[in-house]
Structure 1
Amino acid sequence: MRPGEPHLRAGGNWLAGDDWARVWREFTTSAFRLETLPEYRVAGEDGLLERFRSGLPMPSGFNSAWHERLRSYRSSGRVVQRVRVVTRPPTDYQRSQFEWGYPGNSSAGEDIRVLDQDDDVVRELPAQDFWLFDDRVVVLMHYQDGLQIGRELLADTDPANYVRYKESALAHSTPFHRYLRRESGSLVRTDEDGRTAT
């Protein structure tokens, strides 16, 4: 168990610590994430949302460890993709993702796309977050009030349905930067000159 993960379920098909790290080490082509919750509570990030709401600048080096990993995956030819389902209106947490989180992730190589919650295709997707690795390894992400409580490896599940979910979500979603240009008024704070306020 890694520091900061004592609340996660472990054992059996529950992935934590080295078991979860191994999935990331061993995927060879693609990692896909469907992200559906209006807000996530992440261990070690207490106070970040309040900082964002207060209009303070993004912390120096924010998400830098993840960016290093993304660059490593990209340099080895592996693809990391994420489709984010966004509510109308977006939550403060979602706005913080669009302003602080996703730009750096995208620059580091993550392919991020967006679906509006009221898009027809969303009704055809599972309501539960998941990761799909190499179109064959499915990991359900379990949350309670936005706090991750477990990562469940679906060892005996045919991944075909999840591959279809992935393909549908990617086909119907809008690339992050295009979505940001279209919806910037509701997602990103700007100063009086229209520049992004970070």
Structure 2
Amino acid sequence: MLLAGEAWKAKFRDFQSEAWRLEALPVYKVPQEEEAIRAYLAGERIDPHTHSSTYTEDLKRVRREGKSKGRVHIVTRPLSVYLQYEFMCYQPHVWAGDEIRIMDVTGRSNPLAGVQDFWMFDKKEVVLMHYESDGTQINREVYEGDVAPFIEYQRIALAESVPFEEYVKGLDV
């Protein structure tokens, strides 16, 4: 089953304890981000201490409800411009409660090579994220099989990654 619109939004509103994502691409083409990326390339930066958005407010709601939301992003250096932009946005997200971790596979094998992006909700349901090679999203699909491999992918990703704030110490992002 493909997910869009209200059915997709409901996944984030209705999960009981955890929403977790694996991100494996160096670029995501998101039309809503195009203007912000142009501004970033022109030298504009957000102030993570004062930045607030619908997303950060929702992260705070998730925390207040005793739930968690997190992700591991698999990266290689040098970071793409998109990842540099995204890292700027990650800081206020972390402060709002997003448990972001980075798995840098530069110069080493990637234990999750070939695993596509996915969201996992409450370790019970997986939504596969399908993208073109340039990062343009094709669709989202509810996975109909056993979620055990995805729970293992999460375990590996968490074990092989570091918290975002630890990763960016000393990096110029």
| TM-score above 0.5, yes or no | yes
Q: Which runs of 5+ in 2 are unaligned?
A: none
Equivalent of 1:134, from 100, 112, 122?
A: 122
Larger Rg: 1
User: Is 1:172–2:160 an aligned residue pair?
Assistant: yes
Q: Which runs of 5+ in 1 are unaligned?
A: 1-12, 189-198
Equivalent of 2:74, from 82, 85, 99?
A: 85
Identical aligned pairs, as a percentage? 37
Q: Which residue number in structure 2 is paired with residue 67 of structure 1?
A: 56
**What displacement does 1:125 show?**
4.8
User: Is 1:94–2:86 an aligned residue pair?
Assistant: no
> TM-score w.r.t. structure 2 length?
0.90
Alignment of 1:94-113 (within 5 A): 94-99=83-88, 101-113=89-101
Moved more, 87-96 or 40-49: 40-49
Q: Secondary structure at the match of 1:150?
A: strand
> TM-score w.r.t. structure 1 length?
0.79
Alignment of 1:1-198 (within 5 A): 13-58=1-46, 64-99=53-88, 101-118=89-106, 122-144=110-132, 145-154=134-143, 156-182=144-170, 184-185=171-172, 188=173
Matched to 2:29, the amino acid is R
1:20-51: CA deviations, max 9, x gaps? 11211221011110111111111222222222
- Taking the aligned partners of 1:69 and 1:51, their CA distance within structure 2 comes to 24
Q: Is the 8 A contact 1:30 1:135 kept in 2?
A: yes
- Cα 1:111/1:59, change in 2 over 3 Å: closer
Q: Is the 8 A contact 1:121 1:169 kept in 2?
A: no
Higher relative contact order (CA 8 A, sep 6+): 2
- Taking the aligned partners of 2:119 and 2:18, their CA distance within structure 1 comes to 10
What RMSD in Å do the two structures reach over aligned CA positions? 2.0
**What displacement does 1:57 show?**
3.0
- Taking the aligned partners of 1:58 and 1:159, their CA distance within structure 2 comes to 37
